[in-house]
Structure 1
Amino acid sequence: GITLLLSLSLTDCILGNGKDYRGTIAKTGSGKTCQAWSSQTPQTHEYFTPLTHPHAGLEQNYCRNPDGDINGPWCYTTDLRKAWDYCEIPKCPAYHICL
């Protein structure tokens, strides 16, 4: 019970810069829908795809941080006027475990 709750809460928040974030938020901070990382429309991009970064969780259109950006997870958007944008994902609360 407790372990499951802890793992669920950790998926919708980021630790540090969010490089390991594997949650399912797929909208930018400005409300734009994220483009699938494997798609080349409407944004054409060559570097961050499931093929170039197979362990970065780029299978869907979820916010990710494959390049370790200090500002946190981001995504390519489906808006032609904005190629990419940061996602607003809350930081995980600090857990203190007393032994």
Structure 2
Amino acid sequence: MIKNIYFICCLTFQIHDPDARSLQVTNLKPYTYYQLRIIAVNIVGRSQPSNASRQFQTMQAAPNIPPGNLTVRTLNATALRISWTVGAFILCFG
């Protein structure tokens, strides 16, 4: 199984609440593995990076391409056989 692991360097989020303990990270790629680290910054300087988070995976996205090569074959008076192909894995899930 191939895993897409992205390294996001240097994303900056300004948090003005000194009591904040969480942050929502958006615009990640669907069906992709990530790990995060945090560096705190104030007027004095930067902290060391936190330990890496556990690896997590974003959810799958809906397929962005329709099935192709749709064929229908009559089997008998009350049944049909329908077949199709799917797009490339990476295109179907993000």
TM bucket (normalised to shorter chain) is under 0.3
Richer in helix (by share): 1
Q: Which has the larger radius of gyration?
A: 2
> Which structure exhibits the higher relative contact order, with contacts defined as CA atoms closer than 8 Å and separated by 6 or more residues?
1
Q: Please, what TM-score do these two structures have when normalized by structure 1?
A: 0.21
